[in-house]
Amino acid sequence: MKQQRIIWQLIVLITLLQSTMSAFGQTKTAAAHEVNFYCNPLLLDDKPTNYSNFSIYSKGQLSVVVADKKTAALEKIPFRIYLRRNGKLVTQGVSDSTRSVVSIEISSVLALARFGDHLIIEPVRKSDEGTRRNIELKSPFETNILSFLTKAKDGC
């Protein structure tokens, strides 16, 4: 009985630590934002997305950006977002491979997701093909809970 209590306390502690560390791991400075978008075109609430902390519980406005070659300003581009499960498209709710959006609340798409699904984000325009992403949605226990300790890289 005492062992079960200790195990449950440890599970709760690990879960709390992981959620707290994930929040710290996703914060970046404006300078990092300007550097990282070349290799990471996905913005979640106008901040670069940290793929290592991305899960089916992620929330926020997702948008895809590219740099305008003339002004070097960020431009939001239209994209399609959908789920793929076991190699097959999930075509329920907002997971639609034919609908294009400029930004979307990611939790509405992830509401249909299961662990192991792939979140596919592909640009509408062929010229933006480099921004296509395929993100495997992992269990929170599979993420790196110490990601906030690693130094920020250029995003590549």
**How confident is residue 33, by pLDDT bands cut at 50, 70 and 90?**
very low
Q: Which H or E run includes 62?
A: strand 61-67
State residue 132 phi and psi, 5-degree precision.
-65, 135
Q: Which of 152, 118, 140, 151 is nearest to 22 (CA)?
A: 140
Mind listing the pLDDT tens digit for each residue in 9-30?
777 767 766 666 554 444 443 3
Mind listing the pLDDT tens digit for each residue in 36-68?
445 678 888 888 887 766 778 888 898 998 887
Report the predicted TM-score, pTM, of the whole model to 2 decimal places.
0.63
Q: How far apart are CA 62 and CA 126, in angstroms?
A: 20
Mind listing the pLDDT tens digit for each residue in 97-129?
788 899 999 888 888 888 888 889 899 988 888
